[in-house]
């Protein structure tokens, strides 16, 4: 134990790097809980959609959305969320599930929606990647 301060002093860069990685890992594991965002896995999301009449809001770009999205999802890119949030007002009393590629942007969208009065705003944990990993269907935009 008496060698720890000497190690830290001799390897300050490595110790700082270790602490940064540790903080990022903890944030990844507990960040959604700390920020008040409720995450749902793909199975729970399907229950919210099918039984609760939930709306899926895909916050990815139009190109990513066109490449494959959850059936009946509304494409509302995160950058446009503030200006177009009025389109969602009729769903304030229903579950709204924000979806992105891997879950990070969806958590931000769910936080914005909760702040706007959507009491049942959720983020899909793992995003479209987790949805595909659960072997759930995606649809594509048909070209005309």
100 noted as active-site residue: yes
Place of tokens 């939930």: 54
From CA 95, how far away is CA 48, in angstroms rounded? 7
From CA 101, how far away is CA 111, in angstroms rounded? 17
To 5 degrees, how large is the angle CA 49–CA 50–CA 56? 20
In this structure, what token pair is assigned to residue 102? Answer: 């891997």
Selected catalytic residue, list 57, 78, 100, 121: 100
Place of tokens 């909760």: 114
DSSP notation for 60-105: S-HHHHHH-B-TT-EE--GGGHHHHGGGGGGGTTS-EEEE-SSSHH
In this structure, what token pair is assigned to residue 50? Answer: 């099918």
Q: Which residues are catalytic?
A: 100
């Amino acid at each position: 134990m008496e060698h720890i301060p000497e190690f830290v002093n001799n390897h300050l860069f490595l110790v700082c790097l270790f602490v940064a990685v540790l903080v990022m890992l903890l944030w990844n594991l507990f960040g959604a809980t700390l920020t008040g965002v409720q995450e749902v896995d793909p199975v729970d999301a399907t229950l919210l959609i099918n039984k609760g009449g939930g709306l899926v809001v895909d916050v990815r770009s139009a190109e990513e959305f066109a490449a494959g999205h959850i059936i009946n999802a509304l494409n509302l890119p995160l950058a446009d969320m503030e200006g177009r949030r009025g389109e969602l007002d009729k769903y304030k009393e229903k579950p709204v599930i924000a979806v992105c590629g891997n879950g990070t942007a969806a958590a931000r969208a769910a936080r914005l929606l909760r702040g706007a009065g959507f009491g049942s705003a959720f983020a899909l944990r793992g995003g479209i990647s987790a949805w595909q990993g659960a072997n759930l269907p995606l649809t594509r935009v048909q070209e005309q």
